[in-house]
Structure 1
C-alpha cells in the first residue's frame, strides 16, 4: 500500500512538472501569447527613392534593404516601379535591390515597402564572425597620436567590450590633442567612426559599421550609425557617440559596412526618404503569419497547424476534460447525484447548440413527457429493447413538433434542438424511470436536477473564451488536470451533503 501511494505521488508530480515545463517553454521561449486579446505591433516602412535620370543613358539604381536575420521577420515586401527590372542580391550579410532600365528621362520615383514584426521564435539564426581587415596605414604624427591613444585604453580595459567602449569614448573627446590630429578638423560621425576603426585596427580588434532605422510611428526617419565588434561568441553593438553597449530594441538593422545606402548610375540628385507607421494585430494570428513567412518550426507541433475545420472540432473536444472535472468535483466533494459521470457532459455539449436556457427547458419538457410515456409502456409489459425504441421514436417526434412550433412562433433558437443528442435523451429517460422504480420518485428527481445543474455548470466552464484559448494553445495544461484528477481519486473524506445528513450525530 505504501509503495502504491509513493508511485501515485511520483506520477502526480511528474505530470504537474511536465505540464508546467511545456507551458512555460511555449510562453517564455517560443513567445506564444497567453491571451487571445493580446496584440503585437506591425510595422510598415516605405522608402521612396527619387532622382533625375540622364537622357539616353541606361539607369541602374542600387539600394540596401534589411537582411532581416536578427529580431524581425518580414510579412510582406514589395518593389513599386514603372518600366524597371528588379533583382535582389545577397553579399556579406547584406541584401541589395537593383532597379534597372534601358531608357529613362526626367524625374524618377521608385518605392520599396516592407511590412515586418518581431520574430516570435526564440531561436535566432547564428551570425558568422567577422573577417579581420588590415589596419589603415599610418605614418608620422598620425601613427604617434594613435599609439598614444591606445596605450591608456589598454590599461583601462579588461576585455573586448570594455576596450571598444573605452576607444569610442576617447575618440569622442574633442579636447584631446591626439584626437584633434586624427580628425583633422572633421568632427562628423563618419570621421569619428573612422578614427575608432583605425584605433581598433591597430589593436587587432574587429569593428564593423551598422546602419539602423529607428522604429517610431508616423515619423520621417534617416538611418543612424552604430558600431559592432565580435568577441569570439557574439556581436556586441555600441553607440558611436557614447560607447554604451547594447542595441536598443526599437532599432532595425538596415545594412552593414562602409558603402552608401544608395548608388545611382545614369542619374543625379538621388535621395531616399523613409516613412514609418505601425498598427496592431492579434498576437496569435501574427505568430501564424510570421511562422509561414519565416519557415520556422514555431507552430509545427501546435494545434494551430491543423486545418481550420479540424481546429474548431478540437476546440470543443479539448474542453471535455474540464466538463468531466466539474462532474468529479460535484460528485466526489459536494455529493450531488447525477445520471452517471459522462451524461451531464454530453448534455452540456448539446447546450452549445441550443443555448443554456433553451437547453434546460427542452431537457425538462422532453424528459417529463418521456417519463410519462415510459410509465405507460411499463403497464404493457414490453421488453427493454422495444421499449427503448418507442421512447427514441417519441423523442424524435417531440423534437420535430417543438422545432415546428418554434419556427411558427418566431423562436429560431428552438430549431437547433434538432441537434440535441436524441440517444442521450432516450437513455436519460430510461435511467430516470429505472431509478424511479428502484429508489423512488424523490431520488429520481434529485438525480435529474443534479444532472441539469452539473450540465449547466460544465457548459458555462467549457464556454469561457479565455480558458478555451489557453487550453487550445497550451494543451500541456491537460497533464496538470489529469494530475488533479489522480489526486482526487484517493479522496476518502466526507462530502458536503453528507455533513448535512449526519449532522444529527454531532448534536450530543
Structure 2
C-alpha cells in the first residue's frame, strides 16, 4: 500500500504557498483584502513666485521624498520654461529654466500623495557630524549651555531631548536668550548637537490640513540615533512626528534657489480626498514598474475575460464538495459550473426561468426525434440547432414584450444545453421521470449555490487580485479527492444498518 505522506505534504505546501503569496501581496503591495476599501489622499499644490530681472533664469525646487507618503501623480505647469525632474545625491528636485524672465513669474508643481504608515526614517549610512566653529562672541555661552545639558544627559538622544527642553523652558538662562537673539532655534539646535559629535540636520515639513491655502514650510531638526532619524521641533519643544506632517525637504539645504530673479517665494495649498484602495495600489505598482506578471498589465478586454475565467475554480470547488462530501447528483460533472457562469450574466431568477424553458421545450422536441431512429451525431446536431432556435425565439419574444432581462438568455452555453437535453432524454427512457427530476434539480441546486459563491463581491475580488488563492483551492480539491467515506445524503440510506 502506497504511503499518503507525500500527498499530504504536497497539499500542505500548496496551501501554505497560496496563503503566503496572498498575504505577501496584501502587505507588501498594499492590495486591500476586502473590496470597496478607501484610503485618504492629499493633493498638494506648490506655487513658486519671483520677479524676473530680464536675464536667463533657473529655478531649483526640492520635491517631497518622504517614506510616510507615496507619490501617485506629480506634474508641473510652467509655460515657456524647460523642466527637468531629477533624483541625485542632493535629493529629488525640479529645475525650471528659461532664456529670459522679466516681471512676475509663477511656476506650479502639483503632487498627489497617499499615506503609507511608514513614519520611521531609516538612515542609509551612519552620518558624520560637521563641527561648527562658534564666533568668539558666542563660543563661551554655547559651551556653558552644552556642558550644563551634557551633565544632565546619559545618551546622545537624551542630550537632544534635554537641550530641546532647555530652549523652551519658561525660565531660560541668559546664555540661551543671548544665542537665540542672533540665531534661529533650529540653527542653534543643530550647531550644538554637531559640536558634541551628534549628527543632526534641518528639514522642512508641511502640515497637511484640508482646504488650506498659502501655507509655508515649517523647519524641524532630524537627530541621528541608532540608525534612525528622529524629529524635533526646537521652536515649540516638541519631539516626534505629527500624523499630518509631510517632510518636504530632507537635504538640509535651501528648498528653493532662484538664479536670475529676486523676491522668490513658495506657498502651498492642499486638499484632502478619498480614493479606492485597490486603484491606489495599482497606481503605486505602475509607478514602481512592479506590474510584471500581473493581470493588470493586460488590456481591459483581456482583464474582463480573466475575471470570468478565474471564477471557474470557485464553481469547481463547490461542485466537488457538493458531489463528493454531500452526495448531490447532477446531470453532467461540471455542467452546473457553466450554468452558474451564465447565471452571472443573466441574474439568478432570469437564468433559472430561461434554463427550465429551454430544457422543457428541448425535451419535447427530443422525444419526437427519438421516434425517427436517427444516428447519435445527427440527433445531437439536430438538438443543437433546435436549442439555438428556441433561444432565438425566446429572445425575440422578450424583446417584443419589453422584457429586457430575457435578452440575456443568449449567454447560456448552447452545446452544453444540447448535451444536457440529450442526457436527460436518455435518462428519462432508462430510469424514468423521477431520476430526471433528481439529477436536473440537483444540477440547478448546485448551479445556484455555485452562482451565489461566484457572484459574491469579495470572492471576485480575491480570485483576481490574490492569485495565490487558487493554490489553496487546488489543495482543497486534492484533499477532498482522497475522501472515501460516506456521503452525507447516504447516511439516511444506511441508517437501518446502525440499529436503534
Range into which the TM-score falls when normalised by the shorter chain? 0.7 to 0.9
Question: Aligned partners of 2:10, 2:117: CA distance in 1, in Å?
Answer: 31
2:74 is the counterpart of 1:77? yes
RMSD across aligned positions (CA):
3.2
Question: Aligned partners of 1:162, 1:49: CA distance in 2, in Å?
Answer: 39
2:8 is the counterpart of 1:3? no
2:179 is the counterpart of 1:211? no
Q: CA deviation at 1:446?
A: 0.5
Question: Aligned partners of 2:261, 2:297: CA distance in 1, in Å?
Answer: 49
Give the corresponding residue for 2:158: 162
Q: CA deviation at 1:391?
A: 1.7
Kept in 2, the 8 Å contact 1:42–1:281? The answer is yes
Kept in 1, the 8 Å contact 2:145–2:176? The answer is no
Give the corresponding residue for 2:41: 42
Give the corresponding residue for 2:90: 92
Q: CA deviation at 1:227?
A: 1.1
Q: What's the TM-score once normalised by structure 2's chain length?
A: 0.88
Change beyond 3 A, Cα 1:80–1:176: same
Give the secondary structure class of the aligned counterpart of 2:492: helix
Q: CA deviation at 1:326?
A: 1.6
Kept in 1, the 8 Å contact 2:395–2:409? The answer is yes
Give the secondary structure class of the aligned counterpart of 1:3: coil
Kept in 1, the 8 Å contact 2:129–2:200? The answer is no
Kept in 1, the 8 Å contact 2:57–2:99? The answer is yes
Question: Aligned partners of 2:101, 2:236: CA distance in 1, in Å?
Answer: 47
Question: Aligned partners of 1:82, 1:379: CA distance in 2, in Å?
Answer: 83
2:409 is the counterpart of 1:420? no
Give the corresponding residue for 1:291: 285
Q: CA deviation at 1:362?
A: 2.3
Give the secondary structure class of the aligned counterpart of 2:274: strand
2:339 is the counterpart of 1:357? no
Give the corresponding residue for 1:143: 139
Give the corresponding residue for 1:240: 234
Residue range with higher mean Cα deviation, 339-348 or 351-360: 351-360
Residue range with higher mean Cα deviation, 201-210 or 228-237: 228-237
Give the corresponding residue for 2:185: 192
Q: CA deviation at 1:178?
A: 6.5
Change beyond 3 A, Cα 1:120–1:479: farther
Residue range with higher mean Cα deviation, 127-136 or 273-282: 127-136
| Matching of residues 212-227 of structure 1 within 5 Å | 212-220=205-213, 221-227=215-221
Change beyond 3 A, Cα 1:30–1:184: closer
| Matching of residues 83-122 of structure 1 within 5 Å | 83-87=80-84, 92-98=90-96, 100=98, 102-105=100-103, 108-118=104-114
Question: Aligned partners of 2:450, 2:277: CA distance in 1, in Å?
Answer: 29
Q: What's the TM-score once normalised by structure 1's chain length?
A: 0.86
Give the secondary structure class of the aligned counterpart of 1:500: coil
Which ranges of structure 2 fall in alignment gaps of 5 or more residues? none
Q: CA deviation at 1:208?
A: 0.7
Kept in 2, the 8 Å contact 1:324–1:341? The answer is no
Kept in 2, the 8 Å contact 1:370–1:395? The answer is yes
Change beyond 3 A, Cα 1:174–1:147: farther
Give the corresponding residue for 2:21: 22
Question: Aligned partners of 2:495, 2:127: CA distance in 1, in Å?
Answer: 85
Question: Aligned partners of 1:159, 1:307: CA distance in 2, in Å?
Answer: 57
Give the corresponding residue for 1:463: 455
Q: CA deviation at 1:448?
A: 0.7
